[in-house]
Structure 1
Amino acid sequence: MQFPDDDNGQMLAAMQEAGIDLSQPLEVDFFLVFDDQRDAESALEDLSQSEAQGELELNFSDELEKWELIVTINMVPEYDALVAKETELNTFAAEYDGMTDGWGVMQHQEGDDEFMDDEDDDHECGDHCHH
């Protein structure tokens, strides 16, 4: 499968190379970052009350020194769908003086279940993802 030559395309190519089945739905983590805690909390509250599907998690990233809102959506990681969702979330985050900071997918391989307690942020990241 060919992908566009940009960050999202390169990420999808790397996932395919790693043996991830891109035709199946995956839990995709989109990262939104905010300088101000109140902005991040307002964005979290509005997203949680919206029709948006997915899981939400807010924490402070010591590495970025910013508040990070992680929006996890179960979707087929198709290029156009990823770009559309990232654009939609960036527009949303901008309303709260935030922005998107890439996306990633947790890698679960056969046999990972026996090491569930060792799970760290072991996901594939794009160039803007700092995890």
Structure 2
Amino acid sequence: MKFPDDADGDVLRRLEESGFDFSTAWEIDFMVDFDSWPPSQDALDILEKEYGPIEVYAPDDDGDGYILFNINSPVSYDLIMDTQKKASALVVSFGGVCESWGVLQ
């Protein structure tokens, strides 16, 4: 497979090199960061309405807080980019951005 030369493409290349099965549906975690904590309830409601149950991880000694949501789907570059773009657009007015994701093999 060919992936773009960016951070998300790098992750996908590493997954491919490890034998990741791109044809199988996986639970993909997406993290939404906010400029200030806690995020507004309106932002949380918007994310939950769009993506279903969310998890709130408050800031602690290990890092800043974030909101987590999951999508169950085969992993693809387009899905990753489209989801991050859409989630970011939904919460940008609340100081939110979705720029990270992960999947456990």
TM-score (norm: length of structure 1): 0.70
Partner of 1:5: 5
Query: Conserved in 1, the CA contact under 8 Å of 2:51 and 2:69?
Result: no
Deviation at 1:8, TM superposition (A): 1.0
Deviation at 1:54, TM superposition (A): 4.3
Secondary structure at the counterpart of residue 95 of structure 1: helix
Q: 1:69 to 1:2 in 2, by over 3 A?
A: same
Gaps of 5+ in 1: 108-131
Query: Conserved in 2, the CA contact under 8 Å of 1:55 and 1:73?
Result: no
TM-score (norm: length of structure 2): 0.85
Describe how 1:10-89 pairs up with structure 2 within 5 A: 10-34=10-34, 35-39=36-40, 41-48=41-48, 50=49, 52-62=50-60, 63-65=62-64, 67-89=65-87
Q: Which digits, 9 at most, give the CA deviation of each residue in 1:30-66, with x for residues without a partner?
A: 1101222142x43222222x2x24441111132333x
The number of equivalent residue pairs is: 103
Q: Distance in 1 between matches of 2:101 and 2:76?
A: 13
Q: 1:23 to 1:97 in 2, by over 3 A?
A: same
Gaps of 5+ in 2: none
The one of the two structures with greater contact order (alpha-carbon pairs below 8 A, sep at least 6) is 2
Q: Distance in 2 between matches of 1:101 and 1:2?
A: 21
Q: Distance in 2 between matches of 1:38 and 1:2?
A: 37
Q: Which digits, 9 at most, give the CA deviation of each residue in 1:100-119, with x for residues without a partner?
A: 23110122xxxxxxxxxxxx
- Structure 1 residue runs of 4+, over 6 Å off? none
- Cα RMSD of the aligned pairs, angstroms, is 1.7
